[in-house]
C-alpha cells in the first residue's frame, strides 16, 4: 500500500503530518510517497490551499492535519 502526501517544504503542517505518518508506518504497513506540489504547476493549482493532503491513489484521506481515525478506517475498509 502506497500513500501519497502532497507536501510543501516550507509548510510546518506538512512536516508535522509527515512525522506522524512515519511514526505509524511500522504498525499500519504502508509506504509513504512525498510529493512537492510546488515542483508541479498542475499539482500546485489543485492542492494549493489544502496541503498537506494525504492521498491513496485518487482518494483524499485527509488534509491540513492527520486524521488518524479516518486513516485507520480507510485502511481497514481496504482490508
Structural domains of the chain, count: 1
Q: What pLDDT does 31 receive?
A: 97
Q: What is the model's pTM?
A: 0.94
Taking 90 as the threshold, does the pLDDT of residue 79 lie above it? Answer: no
Separation of alpha carbons 17 and 33, rounded Å: 13
CATH number at residue 34: 3.40.30.10
Q: What pLDDT does 45 receive?
A: 94
pLDDT tens-digit map of 4-56: 999 999 999 999 999 999 999 999 999 999 999 999 999 999 999 999 999 99
How many alpha carbons fall within 13 Å on the CB side of residue 17?
29
DSSP string spanning 55-73?
EETTEEEEESS--HHHHHH
Average pLDDT over residues 53-68: 97
List the grid coordinates of 55: 492521498
Residue span of the structural domain in which 37 resides: 2-78
**Which residues, 6+ apart, have CB-to-CB distance to 75 below 8 Å?**
1, 28, 30
Amino acid at each position: 500500500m502506497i500513500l501519497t502526501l502532497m507536501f510543501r517544504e516550507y509548510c510546518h503542517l506538512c512536516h508535522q503530518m509527515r512525522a506522524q505518518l512515519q511514526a505509524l508506518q511500522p504498525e499500519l504497513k504502508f509506504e509513504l510517497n512525498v510529493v512537492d506540489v510546488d515542483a508541479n504547476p498542475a499539482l500546485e493549482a489543485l492542492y494549493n490551499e489544502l496541503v498537506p493532503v494525504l492521498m491513496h491513489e485518487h482518494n483524499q484521506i485527509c488534509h491540513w492535519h492527520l486524521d488518524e481515525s479516518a486513516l485507520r478506517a480507510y485502511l481497514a475498509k481496504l482490508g
